[in-house]
Amino acid sequence: MRRTRIFWALLIVFGALSTADAQKQKPVADWPAYGRDAGGARFSPLTQIHRGNVGQLKVAWTYRTGAEEVNAAGKSNAAFESTPILVDGLLYLTTPYSRVIALDPASGKEKWGFDPQIALDRRYSEMTSRGVSAWPAVTDNKKAARRIFVATLDAQLIALDAKTGKPISGFGENGVIDLKRDVRFGKYDGYQNYQVTSPPAIIGDLVVVGSAIGDNGAVELERGVVRAYDAVTGKLRWSFDPIPQTEKDPARKTWAGDSAVKTGAANAWSIISADAERDLVFIPTSSPSPDYYGGERKGDNARANSVVAIKASTGQVVWHFQVVHHDLWDYDVASQPMLVNLKRSDKEIPAVVIGTKMGMLFVLDRRDGKPVFPIEERPVPQTDVPGEQSSATQPFPKLPRPLVPHQLKPEDAWGLNDKDRAYCRDKIASLRNEGIYTPPSLKGSLVIPGNVGGMNWSGMAFDPTRNLLFVNTNVLPFEVKLIPRDEYNKMRETGATNRVKGEFGRQTGTPYAMYREPLMSPTGTPCIAPPWGKLTAVDLASGEVRWDVPLGRIPQLALIGNKAAEYGSINLGGSMVTAGGVVFIAAGMDDKLRAFDAETGKVIWEGQLPASAQAAPMTYAVGGKQFVVICAGGHGKLGTKRGDSVVAFALP
């Protein structure tokens, strides 16, 4: 018995030390960054809660942020996506409106709050905040006073005193940097188009921040510039534009004519990862503007839809890998690039794992961007839209296999009844449909997977003791149609654009507007066979899928009984995994936090929440007690139950 205990103790220590290099010196009880370590592995070495006792978890405390009143005021697209962090004995989180709150981690009592007073009477393309960052990044650093950084919905970078919540007067202008400065704003007269929704990255004495841009409005939109600021003074140290600006840049050759000057976006709206040991930051970029027509930006559009490795001390590009050439499907790199150490053939490889909306995983050596598993360029369907020029090929990893379907044929149409199936079969048959990377068309194209993924900002979790990567995905095809400009203008004049279920994009500066909507049956279920939401475990040593199970439930399907559990749910929100062998995730449209057995994928506990949780959970220990915490406030666009609760679970 003693020998067994020693073995497990060593295994836990090994797990804590082999995730991302940056995690090595962090106390095991803390959760110091959005993904716990700077590389986003979302692994905790805590073991008090494990597979044997997780079923005993009870609510330990609940905190209300007060944001529910703002939700009720008509902010229909608000989403509570925050993941709290724990440093120096305080729990820090944000509301969808960028308010920062510090809580006592044992009781949930508020210690302080800071409200940046963003203008709530504006229309924001996204209304969310995924959290804050702490500097210095190493939790036991006593040489510098702790600062909490928040990047706000109205594009401000704010430094707060971690103990009091007051702005740091010596940073920027009285604690604030206006990120809208020196950004070329586009010619699209619409809603608040330039904002920040994800926490900045911290590396050394730098704070690195991207932006979120509503990128379907026009060609000439805001630039997706990533900037690094001195964490003490706020002085700009470097900036990086994913769209190459000089003729000397080799990537410029992949942008035809003056498109690199005109086009906007290609921004980093998701979470940036940092590798302090190698002086690298890993930037996930989005599609250039607009998403669904690239006739004004012909070429591969290098460094858009990519992970770009930047030398943190200088801002210079070290390497980049593009997951989609000349994106026409809104296939942003939405997940945080995950930094992990993989053991293969008795060698340890510092890797970066890129999760994609296409449901494909690219595993690269993070030192040079070379593939760990082979990647090949394959021919893909070609456009028939006048003025467009699609890429002849796209990259596909040989391993792991795609985690979501890449094809939906009419004979595969699904529905709850004969009427549903007939409708879906006819709808699928009416669209251009050649599998993944079928280009948008004037006829209407079936896009599978749709722009919500596959994977999305939810990210992944990695258990280094088992070499398992846990990925939640959506299985939801979309219809995408290009509309000639004159026809679109007439639709607006007659009000036809207000009488549809889907979403329009003006794409000003191109010959076409865009329309998209999920492919649904008359009763509101997807036209593809379930499960529509999944949690998958991938062995990163072999590239093989270990298990694949439905995730969540859709409350509207409760009338069909227990079978709804087999259907899974459209989901937004990430997972975490602990050394106790438990994967925690909510994310689905129901109001449950679930625990899965990391070895088998079996659901071993469900915790009731006051609202749906489109956020990623975290865990920590204080006073010898382990807590699991999640923000449960729902998601306006997903239509889930709304609220403003932070809920902590613990053993009795």
Hey, which residues are catalytic here? 330
By three-state DSSP, how is residue 344 classified? strand
By three-state DSSP, how is residue 452 classified? coil
Q: Which residues pair with 583 in a beta bridge?
A: 577, 596
CA distances from 238 to 175, 229, 314 (A): 19, 7, 7
Main-chain dihedrals φ then ψ at residue 480, nearest 5 degrees: -125, 130
Q: Which residues pair with 468 in a beta bridge?
A: 463, 539
Which of 546, 522, 542, 530 is closest to 601 using CA atoms?
A: 546
Neighbours of 191 (CB within 10 A): 12
Q: Report cis status (omega within 30 of 0) of the bond before 290.
A: yes
Q: Give a three-class secondary structure readout of 119-146.
A: CCCCCECCEECCCCEEECCCCCCCCCCC
Q: Which residue has the tokens 């009427």?
A: 419
- For the chain, the 3-state helix, strand and coil shares in percent, each to the nearest 5, are 10, 35, 55
Q: How far apart are CA 322 and CA 331, in angstroms?
A: 11
CA distances from 196 to 34, 153, 262 (A): 15, 5, 22
Neighbours of 596 (CB within 10 A): 26
Which of 144, 166, 15 is closest to 88 using CA atoms?
A: 144
Q: Give a three-class secondary structure readout of 457-514.
A: CCCEEEECCCCEEEEEEECCCEEEEEEEHHHHHHHHHHCHHHCCCCEEECCECCCEEE
Contact indicator for 274, 280 with CB cutoff of 8 Å? yes
Q: How far apart are CA 587 and CA 152, in angstroms?
A: 23
